[in-house]
């Protein structure tokens, strides 16, 4: 595991749970608006944290934290992710995975082995517009497969989209919601201009509150719940 950072306490990364958040290095996408270029671009990687130091910390948090969130970057790129999570589960923590859905086989393995309790998958764009947002010419089949695996599982899940002007059109939201039709929860995230992987997007303006509400209403035609974050 290449771990670029850890947030030792969070009340917002795992719904209704106190959690530590582990950030892995490396990603399969290069989204313009990404707020974590130091976890995506190899030239910006810090020296990875020591795995045993991570577990020494988690040992001290037993009974004080409920969960461990594994985020990124893209965690499913890590070759020993399954073994790492097995160690976390042995400490009796709930585990949440944040993923972009690029590795459906890994997601399926984690679910089938009961290694994750919650999964959050980023939906980047309408499926035919993924290359525009991610800067990767990727077939949508893997994204579609991950959606099906997650929605047919028996674990809690959410899909989420960060909406950015010049990358997303207001009309896109309905197509995105259709791709996860009948999903239990869809989160629309407001873009906050700050450090971004593509510096040109660090000053992009976000959609207005009215626009976000309109997009939420469109999404609700196709999913069971849709919140703005």
How do residues 126-148 score in pLDDT, each as one tens digit? 999 999 999 999 889 999 999 99
Q: Which residues pair with 120 in a beta bridge?
A: 98, 158
Residue 88 maps to which CATH number? 3.20.20.70
CB 216 within 8 A of CB 226: yes
What's residue 200's pLDDT?
Answer: 86
What's residue 202's pLDDT?
Answer: 81
CB 100 within 8 A of CB 121: yes
What's residue 203's pLDDT?
Answer: 80
Give me the number of domains the chain comprises: 1
Whether 142 is covered by a domain: the verdict is yes
**pTM of the complete model:** 0.95
Whether 87 is covered by a domain: the verdict is yes
CB 110 within 8 A of CB 153: no
Per-residue pLDDT tens over the stretch 5-15: 999 999 999 99
Say if residue 54 is preceded by a cis peptide, omega within 30 of 0.
Answer: no
Range(s) of the domain holding residue 147: 3-164
Residues 164-188, mean pLDDT to the nearest whole number: 95
* E strand intervals along 123-202: 156-163, 186-190
Whether 114 is covered by a domain: the verdict is yes
Cα separation, 133 vs 7, whole angstroms: 27
Whether 36 is covered by a domain: the verdict is yes
Whether 180 is covered by a domain: the verdict is no
Q: Which helix (H) or strand (E) holds 155?
A: none
Per-residue pLDDT tens over the stretch 72-122: 999 999 999 999 999 999 999 999 999 999 999 999 999 999 999 999 999
Whether 212 is covered by a domain: the verdict is no
Residues 22-28, mean pLDDT to the nearest whole number: 97
Whether 200 is covered by a domain: the verdict is no
Q: Which residue has the tokens 């970057």?
A: 73
Whether 171 is covered by a domain: the verdict is no
| Residue 201, helix vs strand vs coil | helix
3-state SS string for 1-31: CCEEEEEEEECCCCCCCCEEEEEECCCCCCC
Angle at the Cα of 23 from the Cα atoms of 62 and 97, rounded to 5 degrees = 70
User: Which among 137, 138, 157, 139 is positioned nearest to 147, based on CA atoms?
Assistant: 157
């Amino acid at each position: 595991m290449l771990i670029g950072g850890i947030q030792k306490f969070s009340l917002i990364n795992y719904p209704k749970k106190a959690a530590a958040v582990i950030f892995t290095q490396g990603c399969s996408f290069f989204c313009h608006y990404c707020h974590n270029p130091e976890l995506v671009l190899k030239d910006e990687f810090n020296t990875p944290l020591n795995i045993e130091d991570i577990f020494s910390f988690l040992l001290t948090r037993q009974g004080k934290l409920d969960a461990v969130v594994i985020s990124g970057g893209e965690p499913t790129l890590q070759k020993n992710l399954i073994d790492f999570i097995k160690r976390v589960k042995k400490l009796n923590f709930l585990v949440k995975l944040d993923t972009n859905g690029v590795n459906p086989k890994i997601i399926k393995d984690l679910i089938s082995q009961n290694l994750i309790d919650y999964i959050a998958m980023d939906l980047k764009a309408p499926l035919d517009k993924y290359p525009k947002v991610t800067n990767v010419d990727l077939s949508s089949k893997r994204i579609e497969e991950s959606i099906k695996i997650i929605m047919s599982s028996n674990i809690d899940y959410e899909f989420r989209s960060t909406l950015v002007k010049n990358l997303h059109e207001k009309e896109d939201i309905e197509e995105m919601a259709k791709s996860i039709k009948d999903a239990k929860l869809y989160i629309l995230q407001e873009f906050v201009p700050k450090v971004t992987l593509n510096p040109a997007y660090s000053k992009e303006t976000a959609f207005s509150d009215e626009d976000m509400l309109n997009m939420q209403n469109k999404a609700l035609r196709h999913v069971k719940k849709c919140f703005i974050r």
